[in-house]
Amino acid sequence: MGHDVIVGGTGMLKDVSIWLASQGNHLTVIGRNHDRLLQLEREVPDSGNLNLLSLDYHNVDQLTNAVLQAIKVHGPVSRAVVWMHSTANDALQALVDCLSSTVQDTWSLYHVLGSAASRPNAVTRPELRGNCHYHEIILGFNMRSGISRWLTHNEISTGVIHALEHEARETIVGIVEPWEKRP
Ligand SMILES: NC(=O)c1ccc[n+]([C@@H]2O[C@H](COP(=O)([O-])OP(=O)(O)OC[C@H]3O[C@@H](n4cnc5c(N)ncnc54)[C@H](OP(=O)(O)O)[C@@H]3O)[C@@H](O)[C@H]2O)c1
């Protein structure tokens, strides 16, 4: 049985967590709020393979120690879906280093980014080792009859699941152009 990780899997990506949990691997879910994690557990049909980690990812040592402990119990991570705010770039890099140094073969990072990532040099991507396959998912917006709006949680999760199913290297959920029309 493999081991997947999702960071930020109790908010707009909750349906991604539920989908990952249905795929037959162990699933480690990271968020701060214990009640939101328990709510997710209630919504997963078979929660036996769920590992819930309640922590603040800004605490880099706590994050990496918890992930290392999860790896000890459930095995190396082959797939990580990561939605982390840019205030935690150090933690993202530490997480990527931690996962790269513990896999036997290769692993896949599905990095979920806000719409600004479509602009040149607007966001920092993590430095990757050769054993990491990088998949980028940019969340854009939707527009109808000239009126734009941000994506719904359902649209976001559907787009991320599509990227996972197709192992897509680059995904834009919705649109990022015309940029000046964003909500
Ligand atoms: N392009 C778009 O349309 C777009 C792009 C981005 C966001 N959005 C919208 O903006 C809303 C707000 O985004 P959001 O990221 O604040 O909400 P969110 O996805 O609903 O929540 C963020 C997720 O990350 C976790 N998290 C946040 N900070 C954390 C920390 N320091 N340590 C550990 N886990 C942490 C949260 O868990 P806890 O609650 O337990 O902390 C939750 O699981 C979303 O609901 C979405 O609708 C839209």
pLDDT at 46: 87
Domain that holds residue 135: 3-181
Nearest protein Cα to ligand 1, atom 6: 114
Query: What average pLDDT does the chain have?
Result: 97
Number of independent structural domains in the chain: 1
**pLDDT for 104:** 85
| CA–CA gap between residue 94 and residue 138 (Å, rounded) | 22
Residues with a CB atom less than 6 Å from ligand 1: 8-12, 30-33, 36, 56-58, 83, 114-115, 139-141, 150-151, 153
Quote the CA–CA distance of 159 and 110 in Å, as a whole number. 12
Q: What is the 144 CA–ligand 1 centroid distance (Å)?
A: 25
Under the banding of pLDDT at 50, 70 and 90, the label for residue 47 is: confident
Domain CATH number, residue 158: 3.40.50.720
